[in-house]
Chain A
Amino acid sequence: MSAIHPLIADQVSRSFGATAAVEAASLTLEPGEITALIGHSGSGKTTFLRLLAGMERPDRGQILSGDTVLASDTQHVPIEKRNIGLVFQDFALFPHMTALENVMFGLRGTAKPDRMKIAEKWLDRLGLTSRRDAYPHHLSGGEQQRTAIARALAPNPVAILLDEPFSGLDPSMRDRVREAALSAVRDAGMPALLVTHDASEALVHADSIAVIDRGKILQTGTPDALYHQPQRVEVAKALGPVHSIDLESLPGQWRAAIGSTTGTVHYRPEAIQLGTGEPVMVRGSKLAGAVTEVALALDETNTVYAACQPGAPLLPGDQIQATINPSLVFDFTPKMT
């Protein structure tokens, strides 16, 4: 097994015509870690993955595997020479090959029995031993996706890039396939990039998260750091719902808890906690799965939105009390220093 290096993007830019798809993006994928890249469609996340894979050439910047330059102003190692594993949303299995043949496709340089053994090992690792001779159209969606992951991992790539790998799957099987697939990826020990638009997937499964918006990587860090200490409103929004409010309209006790008195702040709905504290009036509520979303009137014109555990029904007009948790309130106004 070759030594495992991080995969590094250093100030990488790529434009299509006048539009900058990726702008001065830097990201280091550490070996053995799953880094999630999140952003909405059109944010540049797929282009960034394509740059790393070698399907696109950067206009500026460098892509490195350890010390090896994969792409720079002067150099471009083509996709077929990079040995980077790719997994696509639509699986992209070769329809004319069995699961085993698909996994064997990228193996070369050894005798056929050896290649077969390696491929079988990977199919086994992903729980597909009994499906090795099935063609893609006989495999379920989850089986196809696991075959695609086995195929990408089998040649022992220097990194693996997964482009929305689970969003094409039925929700009922998504969790199981994701668990099996990501544990295989993590065990394989190479750097892994998980491109997704699903914030909860990134929060639960990634070791670190990078948020991309309009081609720029805005913030990188652990899921916890990004969720609780976003540096920009776009980052906060990318990881979950946030609302904004003028501090002046908040009750004095809440302002005291937050520690500043003027300007606009953003808060996550779970920052508002019902029970004790300032009096507020219920405007409306609706059950949204595991939480109840409640609109609370502070006065005639100002409303805050809370997410709380479902309990006794809250009816419009009910008078209740609420406090605010300052650790989930973010102040993005530029600080004068």
Chain B
Amino acid sequence: MPRFTPSLSAIPPSLIIGLVGLPVCIALYAGLVGGDGATWDHILQNRLMPYTLTTLLTLFIAAVIMLGLAVPAAWIVTQYEFPGRNVFSWALILPLAMPGYVMAYAWADLMGVSGPLQSQIRDVTGLSARDYWFPNLFSTPGLAFVLASTLFPYVYITARAAFSMQTRATLEAARSLGASPLDLFWRVALPVALPAILGGLCLALMEAAADYGAADFLGVQTLGVGIVRSWTSFGEPNTAARLALMLVCIAFVFLIVARLYQGKSGVQQTSTRWLTPERSALSPSMAWLATLLCATILLLCFVAPIARLMWLAVETEARTTDLLPLLRSTLLLGLFGTALALCAALVFTLAAKRSRALRMGTRLIAAAGYAAPGAVLGLGALFFLRETGQPLAGIVAVALLVWVYVSRFTSAGVEPMQATLDRLPKNLDLAAQSLGSRGLRQFWQVDLPLILPGALAAGLILFVEILKELPATLMLRPFGWDTLAVKAHAYATDERLAQATLPSLMIVLAGLFPVLLLSWRLNQGERK
């Protein structure tokens, strides 16, 4: 058992743990004991059951699509040589830059009755719009497709890592025992990589469960949508809290399962030679088939939606008139949020280094914030505000919103900093202390300079995450504080897609930076 030694240096981290953990705790508390408003029967029958079932169905379909996209792509990229392999290997991560709601706008336009796909069908066949069946994006499977197409890189990244870490010898041993290439995949590579793949899938599903924007735009009644509507439209805070409790439970299950699988990356630990499997050549026709598969995935999940949005922006000469104030409030909120979350993450990381009890506390709270969807945290903040009796306006609302950002994204900032620290020699602290550097001096002279590269990466990631955040911003922003995400969503739900394109594209552009950073770091890791 870690012994708890009270000390002054434990106060700031403890305070920040409280700050980060409070919104989700309030929301959970309200969900468990909140007793006023609509009856439990009404909530269960009319709200909780339908929202939950829709959410679970969406997640199930999304899981199937993500596995179908990511696992074959990861396998051929790690095992075979084919035209464009080098580019696809990292480009298949790019869809992560697109928030689900932007993907939904683009596909809604691509697949709409007057969109390019249906027009083409009518031109070619001469049929009219009523004479043929066309898949409807505004449906549960449609939402699942949209979410899967932005989130499948989570699965792709873990599958690629798991496949490329399998020793060449293991695969060659299987072949020498008569295994065909297909056998190799089904009997050896996939079972070995499965824990890692499921871990990645759970993280992706956790993100999918947290979606609000895509579901709201596509009119699919998921829990995220339900929470916001129950509060804003139905005036049933009690229902919102119950839905939030359910959503947090679902998200936590995924997070816990992902963490369970993370330990066992599925790679044999006895190997002394961890060679990346040598990629085999394919016959020309098979090689082009592999290229076609990867190109199709990239086209569907990134190129086509982006190209469509760009085309829309140019063709309609869409002018988002109030772009300047939008940029100003987005930038301000992003900077406030990033600065505070970065400080919180820094305190967490350093505290975790010093004390085991604090490490457990910070990990737990950071994970709670990470798993809790923005809608839930926004709800927690609203309950908090209601207790204090303050109106949701002005500086109070801005502070509340920044607080929710800190609560939601601190853990995203801890990770890159932790990764930087993990790479350092373990005895560095002792070395610094043996040379007389302690406390604040150690922080300025040793810890801070060392952690800086990780902190810069963390800052970038945090800023973009905040920029993309939709549900909490939507719930809490005061008048005049619309962000790019909020405005894009407002235009899109208003069926003014053309006006939504410019803010959407700006979000994607910003989102590309952390994704490229991630891709670069993954490549560095593989080269080691």
Contact = CB atoms under 8 A, between A and B. Distances in A.
B268 A93 contact: yes
Interface stretch (B166-174, B214-222, B285-293): B166-174
Contact of A91 (B174, B177, B192, B270): B270
Contacts of A95: 170, 192, 266-270
B175 interface: yes
Given A92-B271, A168-B272, A86 B266 contact: no
A88 B375 CA distance: 54
A92 B167 contact: yes
A257 B266 CA distance: 65
Interface in A66-104: 78-86, 88-96
Contact of A106 (B178, B180, B192, B194): B178
Contacts of A93: 170, 173, 268, 270
A223 interface: no
Nearest to A157: B176
B475 to A, nearest CB: 46
Interface of A: 53-55, 78-86, 88-96, 105-106, 108, 136-137, 141, 144, 148, 151-152, 155, 168
Q: B191, B266, B270, B272: which has the most chain A beta carbons within 10 Å?
A: B270
Given A92-B170, A96-B191, A137 B177 contact: no
B178 A108 contact: yes
Contact of A155 (B178, B188, B191): B178
Given A89-B169, A106-B177, A108-B178, 9 more contacts: A89-B273, A90-B272, A90-B273, A92-B167, A93-B170, A94-B173, A95-B266, A106-B178, A148-B173
A78 B270 CA distance: 28
A84 B173 CA distance: 10
A140 to B, nearest CB: 10
B450 interface: no
B188 A85 contact: no
Contact of B175 (A80, A88, A141): A80
Given A90-B270, A151-B177, A155-B177, A96 B172 contact: no
B6 to A, nearest CB: 41
Contacts of B178: 80-81, 83, 106, 108, 155
B188 A94 contact: yes
B177 A136 contact: no
B179 interface: yes
Closest 9 interchain pairs by CB?
A106-B177, A92-B169, A95-B268, A86-B176, A88-B169, A92-B173, A96-B191, A90-B271, A79-B175
Interface in B237-292: 266-273
B167 A90 contact: yes
A89 B272 contact: yes
Contacts of A53: 172, 176
Interface string B148-186: 000000000000000000010110111111111000000
A94 B174 CA distance: 8
A137 B175 contact: no
Contacts of B194: 96
Contacts of A78: 175
Interface string B396-430: 00000000000000000000000000000000000
Contacts of A54: 176
A157 to B, nearest CB: 8
B26 to A, nearest CB: 44
Contacts of A136: 268, 270
A148 B268 CA distance: 14
A53 B268 CA distance: 23
Nearest to B193: A96
Contact of A79 (B170, B176, B187, B191): B176
Contact of B270 (A81, A144, A152): A144
Q: A54, A88, A141, A144: which has the most chain B beta carbons within 10 Å?
A: A88
A88 B171 CA distance: 11
A303 B267 CA distance: 54
Contact of B173 (A81, A88, A137, A141): A88
Contacts of A91: 169, 270-271
A92 B180 CA distance: 17
Contacts of B180: 80
